Chains A and B, each alone.
Chain A
């Protein structure tokens, strides 16, 4: 999953990048309202972690403008003020969840997964297709009840496909989920990961749709 973090504190951003990375999330970070708006316009993120107090304005304004523009990306607000009035106006501005600073990294990761899941229209914490089950919280995959070891990127590609098993995902869409801005995209990376996934799970698991991309194969 690819997450946009809007926060101006360098150390916290570093902590989120590393910490959420350990939880299997890819983090892009910006530090101002202006950059956040640009980032939201140009990329499809699975979720946004938004600080309320930014150097050039309020995170709430960014959120309200994005919602007015029709952006439905789930947003978790980070705030130093954790009283109820504050939470109410944060949620009213279009926030999906709210977390007071300081917070537990695991809790933030869980909330990110939860809002992303809800946005994708699923309530369950696991993804299932045929005999495959993914648990995003633990980055673990099971086939027919047996655990399959997947790398972080393999897991990201597979969960990207399993979120909407019957829709086709282009290579570019899958790449976007794999890499943050600072990371060099290796050519053929998606093909390589698909290749590995097929080797581990069976050739029929992922179907290639020529010229368009990939989708999950018919469930066994």
Chain B
């Protein structure tokens, strides 16, 4: 739904009010008309009775005064609205009021009737006095009636019409007032700068606004949390990068200042180690950045895990301590369908992590999991306290003990890369001895074992 809420509300209110107003007007019109007709009919009736009473007691006699009818002159302008005729039963016009037509106003019989005479419509009441032998007809012109009704309706409707704009103004004002809390919230948010994530104060807002404010507040909280997380990551990254740089600078200054060659050689060796570590860290950070940024779908291919692991183990052997990397036969013959780069990242980072934690002379074991949808790596390191297991994949987390100098990114990278392959990484402690098990479980049938 788009458009202005205020316009929609105004429109709905105006239309609803208009319809109600119109219905009221029609009702008034119909009601007033009916009432006026009833009153006028009563008047006709009263007049007929009055005339009949007068005629019966007076000089008029139906059988008497034959000849010219008596014409009673008009008394008032108002009386002119009514016309009266007195007819004998043998159809002689006995008397009539001034302005009354010559034509008989109604056919035989008593009661009300409508009739058209000389192009004019009349409403007539007839009263028969059978004792005296005459009929009194009292009528008025419908056009006069219409005029009267119209006057009355006009008198009723005009004020109602005049009220319309006031009504519209009142509606507009109250809609505006009702939407004020929304406007206030909008202003509050508009005034903020990008860092202001304070919760909106919804305590004084109407209850319709509160869910909105609540939703906004929870969004603010989420954004704030994400930003805090980002700041922490930045702080960690800065720390991890600058600390070895500080070490390198200190050692370099020592190398420059050292008088004896032994001290200088030691410092230079430290520098080399520091540069090596920093370079590794940068590689890890770049891998992480790529995994974070990558949204393009990667093309999976069938990769021989054995050969890939062999390569990685070779590289690690060249750099690291004397730890044996064992790959079991089933895994050697397995292929996994996954995008190559993230799969290599998983294998390499898990291997490096295991090598770092396993003491010299030990071994790490790569093997197919018991359930054939994954593979796992067991090391002979100290494992991790149960409480720390879920934290191991956090960026820069190295455990409180910090026994091993690592970047704290390896397991993070492995986890993210696993997600890229449609797999999940889970970490647990070995049950048979001290050590960590890193298990990668794939969805579907990504792992294929060569029977040959």
Contacts and interface: CB of A to CB of B under 8 A. Distances in A.
Interface in B35-78: none
Given A18-B267, A32-B400, A53-B235, A104 B244 contact: no
B254 interface: yes
B248 interface: yes
B443 to A, nearest CB: 35
Contact of B254 (A31, A56, A103, A105): A105
A52 B263 CA distance: 29
- Central interface residue in A12, A32, A56, A81, by most chain B CB within 10 Å: A12
Contacts of A15: 246-247, 249-251, 253-254, 267, 270
Given A55-B399, A55-B400, A11 B263 contact: no
A80 B243 contact: yes
B138 to A, nearest CB: 102
A56 to B, nearest CB: 4
B241 A80 contact: yes
- Central interface residue in B247, B248, B266, by most chain A CB within 10 Å: B247
B240 to A, nearest CB: 8
Contact of A101 (B242, B251, B267, B277): B242
A9 B244 contact: yes
A78 interface: yes
A108 to B, nearest CB: 8
Interface in A48-77: 51-53, 55-56
Given A11-B274, A14-B270, A81-B235, A101 B245 contact: yes
A12 B246 CA distance: 7
B405 A102 contact: no
B398 interface: yes
A19 interface: yes
A16 B267 CA distance: 11
Interface string B247-280: 1111101100110000100110010011001000
Interface in B192-217: none
Interface string B366-404: 000000000000000000000000000000001111100
Interface string A82-118: 0000000000000000001111111000000000000
A8 interface: yes
Interface residues of B, number: 33
A80 B267 contact: no
B247 A32 contact: no
Interface string B216-238: 00000000000000000001101
A102 B238 contact: no
A15 B267 CA distance: 8
Contacts of A55: 398-402
B176 interface: no
Contacts of A52: 239
Interface SS of chain B: helix
Interface string A1-31: 0000001111110111011001000000001
A81 B239 CA distance: 7
A39 B321 CA distance: 33
B254 A9 contact: no
B253 A104 contact: yes
A31 B242 contact: no
B259 to A, nearest CB: 9
Contacts of B258: 22
A53 B236 contact: yes
A52 B243 CA distance: 11
Given A9-B243, A12-B244, A32-B402, A104 B249 contact: yes
Given A22-B254, A32-B400, A80-B238, A11 B244 contact: yes
Contact of A102 (B249, B257, B399, B401): B249
A14 B266 CA distance: 10
30 contacts: A9-B244, A10-B405, A11-B247, A11-B248, A11-B251, A11-B270, A11-B274, A12-B243, A12-B246, A12-B250, A15-B249, A15-B250, A15-B251, A15-B270, A16-B250, A18-B266, A22-B254, A22-B257, A32-B402, A52-B239, A53-B239, A55-B402, A80-B235, A80-B241, A102-B242, A102-B248, A104-B249, A104-B253, A105-B249, A106-B253
Interface of A: 7-12, 14-16, 18-19, 22, 31-32, 51-53, 55-56, 78-81, 100-106
Q: Which 10 A-B pairs have the closest CB atoms?
A: A15-B250, A12-B247, A11-B247, A80-B239, A102-B246, A101-B242, A101-B246, A80-B238, A80-B242, A102-B245
Interface of B: 235-236, 238-251, 253-254, 257-258, 263, 266-267, 270, 273-274, 277, 398-402, 405
Given A15-B251, A101-B246, A105-B249, 11 more contacts: A9-B247, A11-B247, A11-B251, A11-B277, A15-B246, A16-B250, A19-B250, A32-B402, A80-B243, A103-B249, A105-B254
